[in-house]
Amino acid sequence: MDHKSYRKQTHYTMSANPSFGSDELGISKGTILGDHHMVEAFLGEGSFGVVTKCRDTKNNKTVAIKVNKSDPEILLQAKLEIFILEQLRRLDPDRCNIVEWNGYFLDGERICLNFELLDQSLSDYIGDRNNQGLPMREIRPILHQLANALFHLGSVGIVHADLKPVNIMVVNRSESQVRVKLIDFGIACNTSAVIPGDCVGTIGYCAPEIMLGTPYDEAIDMWSLGLVAVELATGVPLYPGEDDYDVLKFIIETQGQLPDHLLESGLYTDSYFIEDNHNEHVETDIKRRCTHNHTPQGELHPDPGGVTLFPAVGRGRPPRLRSSREAPHSRPQSDGQLLLAPPLQQAAENGGGRRLQTSLHPLIVVLMHMCSKVQKTQEGMELPAKEQQVSA
């Protein structure tokens, strides 16, 4: 990656018209995975391996098999995913709008995860409508189902960390009312295991907490849900950009300054922001940006009584961000303004990767409120007394 070393660098897409194979893994149509799963088609691929459509020759059932490469790092990630999926067995997949996991098996040294076969990704579903957006009568139930999924993930203390249209599947597009399920728990984790500075998610969908390296929890999924909501309505992502630097600029330009406490707790804040005491320069700079971007100047409201953040002009993109084991020097205290800027070339060891207490910030409060309303409509939402017994 050019920038942050994201834990997950390549994502797979469930394509309605797959046109690729997997020479690297030695898998082709007709290959038998494990003892009784015959490959019928390829659904997607990524740095981890491939996702195949398979028929179980024992019961003639069609399933989706995620075949992980035998690379040690990928095998470790697959084991972590299994750890999360085992916890999700406490949830009813249909009631909770999450993909049903049927266990795992080995194909040589490769770990294969067995999932129910779903129709198409929400990304493809939007694309089938020429990226013009969906009508509100479709958007409402989709968001309701996704909020339901996140509510149940939170009830068992799990952060998905990569919510986006590609990781949301339409169960059956021929149904009168669209049903969706959340998939891909490859970088999901327990809330209690979150480490500030761990780079997860996808550029354009991850919350500012991730980009800045601050403490986070399941609230980051609520941020992503808001971005998905906009994309459902418009047909295009809200925050385009090649890297986190671009996305942060878009966020600040559209939503205003980031909260001070978010900046103070960020391991990577100094990679994006510098302090500048030249208020006149800031005022001129922001006016020039508003004019250049055809943005009404009244949409941005700097607070003269506090710290205000503005994107810098013509400073370029920062190089690859430091890893989560590194942290910038303490940011000097000042009464000056903060400007978005290329990273400062400084790094120091992070004190043992200590975990900090998480807190919400104002940018996601509205989304949390929206989802809390959905949660209140859920009646009798109690987890099953026993875990589901799902055979591999």
pLDDT of residue 278: 52
pLDDT tens-digit profile of 87-131? 999 999 999 999 999 999 999 999 999 999 999 999 999 999 998
Of 107, 119, 124, 162, catalytic? 162
Does residue 183 register a pLDDT over 50?
yes
pLDDT of residue 254: 85
pLDDT of residue 274: 79
pLDDT of residue 276: 60
Report yes or no: 87 and 34 within 8 Å, Cβ to Cβ. Answer: no
Q: How confident is the model at residue 277 (pLDDT cuts 50, 70, 90)?
A: low
pLDDT of residue 275: 67
Integer angstrom CA distances of residue 28 from 12, 49, 57, 70, 109: 18, 13, 17, 17, 17
Q: What is the mean pLDDT of residues 258-264?
A: 86
Looking at mean pLDDT, say which of 156-165, 196-205, 340-349 comes out highest.
156-165
pLDDT of residue 259: 85
Does residue 328 register a pLDDT over 60?
no
What percentage of the chain carries pLDDT values higher than 70? 64
CA–CA dist 111, 302 (Å, integer): 52
Q: How confident is the model at residue 305 (pLDDT cuts 50, 70, 90)?
A: very low
Name the residue with higher pLDDT: 75 or 376.
75
Q: What is the mean pLDDT of residues 50-76?
A: 96
Name the residue with higher pLDDT: 347 or 221.
221
pLDDT of residue 325: 27
pLDDT of residue 296: 38
pLDDT of residue 355: 25
Nearest in space to 328 (alpha carbons), one of 146, 200, 197:
197
pLDDT of residue 260: 85
pLDDT of residue 270: 87
Name the residue with higher pLDDT: 308 or 101.
101
Name the residue with higher pLDDT: 322 or 291.
291
Name the residue with higher pLDDT: 338 or 66.
66
Does residue 307 register a pLDDT over 90?
no
pLDDT of residue 95: 98
* Cβ-Cβ contacts under 8 Å for 27 (sequence gap 6 or more): 21, 33, 39, 50, 52, 67
pLDDT of residue 258: 86
287 assigned to a ligand binding site: no
Q: What structural domains and CATH numbers belong to the chain?
A: 32-117 (3.30.200.20), 256-266+268-349 (no CATH)
Q: How confident is the model at residue 23 (pLDDT cuts 50, 70, 90)?
A: low
Q: What is the mean pLDDT of residues 242-252?
A: 89
Nearest in space to 105 (alpha carbons), one of 96, 97, 117, 114:
114
Task: Count Cα atoms within 13 angstroms, Cβ side, for 28.
Answer: 2
CA–CA dist 142, 47 (Å, integer): 29
CA–CA dist 217, 77 (Å, integer): 20
What is the DSSP code (8-state) at residue 234?
A: H
Does residue 241 register a pLDDT over 60?
yes
Catalytic residue list contains 303:
no
pLDDT of residue 3: 38
